[in-house]
Structure 1
Amino acid sequence: MADLWVGSREDDASDDEIRECLIKYGFPSFDEIQRYSGTSARPAVALNFNDTTSDALRSLQPRVHDMFRKDRTIVVQVMPGREERQTERRH
């Protein structure tokens, strides 16, 4: 299970549009999406991939990070996986 943060994306992008864009660049389909409005210039989404590892997303992330799309440069970061966060808390 892994999570991906996509920031500075267009605010009116539909879930399907986000999914199709990422699939175009080799990402698997995400399972859940959570939207963050932020400021008008920096809306974001957090995407959950149930059957994908953080390492797999890290290998794909350079394909879309800093991509210029619809008059914005999007920021894409792999968030620590839930397993990784639990391990960090134990140490």
Structure 2
Amino acid sequence: RDSTPEAVTPLLDKQVEGFGELYRQISFEEIGASTLQSRTVAGLANGTFVFCVPGSTGACRTAWTKILQPQLDIRTRPCNFAVLIPRLMEK
């Protein structure tokens, strides 16, 4: 029923490859094989990060705490999304 990934993907200038795979790997620890049904997409659209994750509270919490929050923290090493943000703002 959810067509969000299909609606968002054409709008992305660049996809974040591996986001869905990482999400499902982490989610597998929580919900087992049901994670195969998890549909995620991430990328850049017009210089803005876009992340589409399943809509349940647990799924959103997992994506935020295990992937997005660390990647948006400048202290995450060896690399993170935070260091890319200034470059995305350049015109």
TM-score, length of structure 1 as denominator length: 0.34
Q: Which has the higher helix share?
A: 2
Task: Identify, as 1 or 2, the structure richer in strand.
Answer: 1
TM-score when normalising by structure 2: 0.34
